[in-house]
Chain A
């Protein structure tokens, strides 16, 4: 038996080039592109590369992230032209022979580097009443019961983390900031089709508007962008149908 301590094999690394769209409102008139080379492992994500740049190369690089595990929805950004969460995108899954382009999400006011003003996004989210509206006491006075089938009806739209990847991938939203956007409709869908909710009609009336569901042009960018795999365009289509029927 050899007593030599086993030396772990060196984990192979590769150099990835990131080209990031920078914008400092105090210095720049226009956003500018800046490139960084980082040494990465096969298990690293785009967020790790951004951390490495911020911690070791340029501390002024600004981006949002909180949980770093695809739950908080802070780090949606445009990676190689598509909206993705930086914390769920492995660098090895991108084409590393070419530089990786990283920009802020589109259609919301750019504040700095990869940070945008999310207020317009949350305003339209709030305006669809994204909470349970049930008057009176529940049957039996204790809990509002729901069958598994009734729960499954809106299961897909409960998964939303409000990262804005869908809304900021929508060509209609880029040109028309008044449009509610996919995320607000998804969250309306979550309560419209909830059997315990009593105010579906209120939400349907809000969305039955020129800037409501009828702005949707079924480009499916939202469905492709959603990091939770929500069938967003399907949800919007179901709300359209509910408005035409006059009930959920």
Chain B
């Protein structure tokens, strides 16, 4: 038994044929917990919101160029595709805002760091409630056809 404990020495058939090895020599993804994923999510939504605001300021500024151009752009926002985009926007802002409150509590509440995981799930819960309230109404707007 223990004779074999040296494992497969060079020369024996390598066991690698059955094991799925990582394709690239790059390292594996770091397996962080709630804290790391909330940060990733915060960063992604933050950058996405920044680019939305950039476009939003430009389209609003169009009204000073010509009201017709402004109307043409705003009418584009009423298409179903943009309606779905608005759902993504509300989802991103909701997550970013609620997680932002969580980060403020981590920094300024003396026991904030102890309860960060719980607070993350509270953020997700509040966000889900927010979306349940908003998404059906928005879908009715987009696909309901009515005013």
Contact = CB atoms under 8 A, between A and B. Distances in A.
Contacts, number: 116
Given A39-B5, A58-B10, A218 B31 contact: no
Interface in B33-71: 33-36, 38-39
Contacts of B114: 234
Interface string B10-43: 1000111001011001011111111110110000
B6 interface: yes
B144 interface: no
B35 A81 contact: no
**Interface range, A side:** 35 or more
A78 B28 contact: yes
B2 to A, nearest CB: 8
Interface in A17-56: 17, 19, 21, 30-33, 35-39, 52-53, 56
A35 B1 contact: no
B35 to A, nearest CB: 3
B9 A57 contact: yes
Nearest to B39: A219
A218 B19 contact: no
Given A171-B39, A219-B39, A220-B113, 16 more contacts: A13-B5, A17-B15, A21-B25, A35-B21, A36-B7, A37-B15, A57-B6, A80-B31, A81-B29, A103-B28, A218-B107, A220-B35, A221-B35, A233-B35, A233-B116, A237-B112
Given A219-B35, A219-B39, A21 B27 contact: yes
A82 B30 CA distance: 6
Chain B's interface size range is 35 or more
A89 to B, nearest CB: 14
A209 B38 CA distance: 25
16 contacts: A21-B25, A21-B27, A31-B25, A31-B27, A35-B21, A39-B5, A99-B19, A171-B30, A218-B39, A218-B113, A219-B35, A219-B39, A220-B35, A220-B116, A233-B116, A241-B108
Interface of B: 1-2, 4-10, 14-16, 19, 21-22, 25, 27-36, 38-39, 103, 106-108, 112-114, 116
B25 A39 contact: no
A221 B34 CA distance: 9
B103 to A, nearest CB: 6
A237 B112 CA distance: 9
**Among B4, B16, B113, residue most surrounded by chain A Cβ atoms (within 10 Å):** B113
B7 A38 contact: yes
A84 B57 CA distance: 47
Contact of A218 (B10, B21, B116): B116
A33 B5 CA distance: 22
A240 interface: yes
A67 to B, nearest CB: 25
Nearest to B106: A218
B1 A13 contact: yes
A63 interface: no
